[in-house]
Amino acid sequence: MDIQQLNPEQRTAVMTDAQYVLVLAGAGSGKTKVLTTRMAWLMEQGIVSPGGILAVTFTNKAAKEMLTRISSLLPINTRAMWVGTFHGLCNRLLRAHYRDAGLPQSFQILDIQDQLSAIKRLLKFHNVDTDKYPPKDIQNFINGSKERGLRPDDIIPHDPFEARSVELYALYQNQCDKEGVVDFAELLLRAFELLKNNALIREHYQRRFKHILIDEFQDTNDLQYKWLRLLAGQHNAMFAVGDDDQSIYAFRGANVGNMRAYEQDYAKGNIIRLEQNYRSYNHILDSANALISHNTERLGKNLWTDRGDGELLRINELSDDRTEAQWIVDEAKSLIRDGIDYQQIAVLYRSNAQSRAIEHAFFSVGLPYRVYGGLRFFERQEIKHVLAYLRLIHNLDDDTSFLRVVNFPARGIGARTLENLTDAATQIGCSLALGIGALKGAPATKLAEFVGLIKRLSDMAKILSLPDLIQQIMHDAGIEQFYKGERDGEERLENLQELVNAAQVFCSEESFEGRSAAELVSLSASEDQAFPEQTSALAMFLSHASLEAGDNQAKHGENAVQLMTIHAAKGLEFDVVFVAGLEQGLFPHRNSLVADDGLEEERRLMYVAITRARERLYLSAAHERMLYGQTEYTTRSQFLDEIPEEHTKWLSPKLKESGFTRSEFAFRQGAGRATNEPKRQSAMFAGMSGGVQVGAQLFKVGQRVAHAKFGEGMIINLVGQGAEAQAQIVFQNVGVKTLALGVAKLEIL
């Protein structure tokens, strides 16, 4: 380990002896290097033993990366260190202390899909009107409450909807407790309550974890911050690393405010800024700096590099989304001709819907591309089916899993039968599997056969290895047979074989730096003598499957251009980056304008996008875009105008201002946009000639109007006549809206 190769700020951070530190780590400033070097340094200096370190991240990928880098810095046994995600570490705590946490030893983890189906089942059972109380809304309410650390009793409802939601939350929690299942938010809340309510356990861990290090601190939610403070107690050191300018997850509960709170209450102004960037050139960094300076409430930071100015940002306004996609592909092609690697080119966009047009363009030209996002491995239905069998083998009372596979593959157990079974089980107060005894007749026989199958498999589980057990399930439950007869069964069978392989890897010792994946999620490390517990490979594999849904793309390391949302690109870097769809209403997204702080979060997102690029950055906007089956007329994103001109090179003529550019463009040129098909023009400018008379008002294309809610705008199209007439109006902030002139109260300016 060479401390000398760090820059002065990095070195200060690595070697600080302050109890509370906040490291403001800009994009590309060596954040992970600082975190891992600090851990290695603390251990090398004998300041703390590996067992005294707790390092927490948000993703499994980041946790693994950290462990790999520590191992390369120091020849130590990383097993004793608690390095993992919030959820992984909480799982570890709860497994070790399941009794004190009030959980069965075999508790299972519900992912969002499982949780939603559990909620649907609950709502159905209690005859809740799902039009008034959509399962998704209830799910959000429950998760939101838990993420703020609230139990049903802690919530004071403000309206009837909330009152009912609280009741349903309580019922849901009962159901989970009975079935021995725990959702993601519950992992954190339980672990927090365990530490809070049990002094013995709390003090044990407080004594143990002398150094707590937190990655991506700006992404923590309220509960996670509370959990960290509890664990830190009075005496332990906290080393929080984050970047408030890259906080883009407020919509899922992240609270940037935690950074400021921590700085004021703990670090007391002890901020170390890492501002030297090792990734990009100055035109890119200065653009990012200038853009983000439009935000208020920042902790403040300015990226710089000694690599020089580099290239100007290339900005292009195009006529429509298809042309934009075509241009990106053409550019990418010439970059590749110049020797850039495919995977060093990324196309980033605000929303997944944008990928279609871009994919299409890549596909037609035959350029290899890879789209990130979509279903992950452990979320596939065939995988979840087999996992449900495994869960039932592990815990027969898991009703969610029971219902998932009791009739998969079909074995003649219908909805009727299951309703009767649910009623019987509720009456007795037992799980579905146990409730079968109360039923009679043919359905009961079929159910008993199913439970018999599970029990047989459970017996085999005691002697078979995990991969063999999975094979056995696929065969005995008829899953193999079923998919052999299916249309797309071949691929599903391949995925199931992949599951067998995953189990094999999981069980093998070699999987990760001499430390198996099983150990990564395992209970207390062996040196944690205070609370030793033993768990089966099956239990650990099930935790693993829930906590790590698998990478979206890890297996496809092929040479291809990378397509993904900006959110997905956080933490990544590429030689060349395209950011597509820079239009008002799309990016910044229209929905963000109504949310508190929404525009600032969008700007942070743009900041993330810009700082992904090492060498070259392209930004593009389209004047017309197909959205929800309709052509939207758009205006350039305000973000493009927030980047100083000296850093940019416009590939298209730059129109005077954003906001009204599109309509001015259209109006000035009449129907004369060179690149567009004539058939749409006629419809578009149908009302142009004479305008539309509605009451006393005469509306014309190009006219400026004001709307009570949307503000000022300009009419860009009129369709229909009289009271029926509709106008498309481009508003300065919300983009294009189609309004009925007879209804909308417009003021002509």
Partner DNA sequence: GTCGGCTGGCTTTTT
Partner DNA sequence: GCCAGCCGAC
Q: Is 515 a catalytic residue?
A: no
Q: Of residues 9, 31, 301, 570, which has the active-site annotation? A: 31
d(CA 582, CA 350): 9
Q: Of residues 9, 179, 193, 216, which has the active-site annotation? A: 216
Nearest partner of 544 among 51, 71, 85, judged by Cα:
85
What's the closest the beta carbon of residue 552 comes to DNA, in angstroms? 7
Q: Locate 132 and state its tokens.
A: 């008034």
Q: Is the peptide bond before 588 cis (omega within 30 degrees of 0)?
A: yes
462 known member of a binding site:
no
Q: Is 350 a catalytic residue?
A: no
Our CB check for DNA shows the closer of 184 and 262 to be: 184
Q: Of residues 603, 612, 614, 737, which has the active-site annotation? A: 612
Q: Is 400 a catalytic residue?
A: no
What DSSP string runs through 140-174? HHHHHHHHTT--GGG---SSHHHHHHHHHHHHHHH
For residues 52 and 527, the answer to whether their CB atoms sit within 8 Å is no
555 known member of a binding site:
no
Our CB check for DNA shows the closer of 81 and 568 to be: 568
For residues 243 and 26, the answer to whether their CB atoms sit within 8 Å is yes
Strand ranges for 591-740 from DSSP E: 613-627, 630-633, 648-650, 692-694, 697-699, 704-707, 711-719, 726-731, 735-740
Q: Of residues 215, 382, 399, 601, which has the active-site annotation? A: 215
Q: Locate 349 and state its tokens.
A: 């966009």
d(CA 99, CA 190): 12
What's the closest the beta carbon of residue 745 comes to DNA, in angstroms? 25
What's the closest the beta carbon of residue 403 comes to DNA, in angstroms? 12
Beta pairing class for 613-627 and 574-579: parallel
Task: Give the full edge-to-edge strand order of the sheet including 726-731.
Answer: 735-740, 726-731, 711-719, 704-707, 746-748
Q: Of residues 37, 139, 220, 246, which has the active-site annotation? A: 246
What's the closest the beta carbon of residue 256 comes to DNA, in angstroms? 14
Our CB check for DNA shows the closer of 71 and 355 to be: 355
d(CA 651, CA 52): 56
Q: Is 206 a catalytic residue?
A: no
Our CB check for DNA shows the closer of 111 and 222 to be: 111
25 known member of a binding site:
yes
What's the closest the beta carbon of residue 368 comes to DNA, in angstroms? 21
For residues 603 and 294, the answer to whether their CB atoms sit within 8 Å is yes
Our CB check for DNA shows the closer of 351 and 652 to be: 351
Our CB check for DNA shows the closer of 312 and 388 to be: 388
30 known member of a binding site:
yes
Q: Locate 155 and state its tokens.
A: 């919530």
Q: What share of the chain is helix, strand, coil (3-state, %, to 5)?
A: 50, 15, 35
What's the closest the beta carbon of residue 522 comes to DNA, in angstroms? 15
Secondary structure of residue 393 in the 3-state scheme: helix
What's the closest the beta carbon of residue 246 comes to DNA, in angstroms? 13
269 known member of a binding site:
no
Beta pairing class for 697-699 and 692-694: antiparallel
Q: Is 356 a catalytic residue?
A: no
Q: Residue 101: what are its φ and ψ, rounded to 5°? A: -85, -5
Q: Is 215 a catalytic residue?
A: yes
29 known member of a binding site:
yes
Exposed/middle/buried for 561, CB within 10 Å: 0-12, 13-18, 19+? buried
Q: What residues line the site for DNA (CB under 7 A)?
A: 58-61, 85, 87-88, 111-112, 120, 184, 248-249, 251-252, 350-353, 356, 373, 407, 410, 412-415, 547-549, 552, 564-565, 567-568, 589, 591-592, 595, 598, 602, 626, 628-629
Our CB check for DNA shows the closer of 58 and 389 to be: 58
Residues tagged in the binding site annotation for ATP: 25-32
Would you please indicate which residues are annotated as catalytic (active-site) residues?
31-32, 215-216, 246, 612
Residues tagged in the binding site annotation: 25-32
